[in-house]
């Protein structure tokens, strides 16, 4: 684990930075063309930088009014458990709170084994009354 200083900056990750983090945390391969457009259509993005290199990211997608979806929260494995992910989530949630004029719905999908991390911020599993579902359309 590194103890190097880092900063969290309000900006989108580059496509290469996104790819680097995506693959480092084991999410598979990235479609660069889709990633570029997806990042460009984000409502809000953050990156964590240490020594000039990206070590973490997070972003929000949605309609900017009622529905927000926290996406791509990732921290390089060697920088995990240092509070970086916590700071990213807190800043993302603050953006949402500042943007909502009423009740907002905030969703996310957690990686396997990360539910407890997100529960600290108030996220809950609402099954069986409500379940999260998704469909992957692959061409």
Active-site annotation holder among 6, 68, 79, 118: 118
Give the C-alpha separation, 92 to 2, whole Å: 24
Surface-to-core class of residue 78, CB atoms within 10 Å of its CB (0-12 exposed, 13-18 middle, 19+ buried) = exposed
DSSP 68-136: EEEEEEEE-GGGTTSSHHHHHHHHHHHHHHHH-SS--EEE--PPTT-HHHHHTTT----TTTS------
Task: Respond yes or no: is residue 118 known to be catalytic.
Answer: yes
Kindly list the catalytic residues: 118
């Amino acid at each position: 684990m590194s103890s190097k200083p880092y900063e969290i900056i309000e900006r989108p990750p580059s496509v290469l930075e996104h790819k680097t983090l995506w693959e480092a945390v084991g999410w598979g391969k990235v479609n660069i063309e889709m990633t570029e457009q997806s990042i460009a259509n984000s409502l809000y993005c953050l990156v964590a930088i240490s020594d000039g290199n990206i070590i973490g990211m997070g972003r929000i997608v949605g309609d900017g009014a009622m529905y927000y979806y926290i996406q791509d929260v990732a921290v390089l494995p060697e920088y995990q458990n240092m509070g970086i992910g916590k700071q990213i989530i807190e800043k993302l949630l603050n953006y949402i709170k500042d943007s909502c004029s009423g009740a907002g719905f905030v969703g996310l999908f957690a990686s396997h084994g990360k539910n407890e991390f997100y529960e600290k911020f108030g996220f809950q599993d609402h099954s069986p009354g409500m379940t999260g579902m998704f469909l992957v359309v692959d061409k």
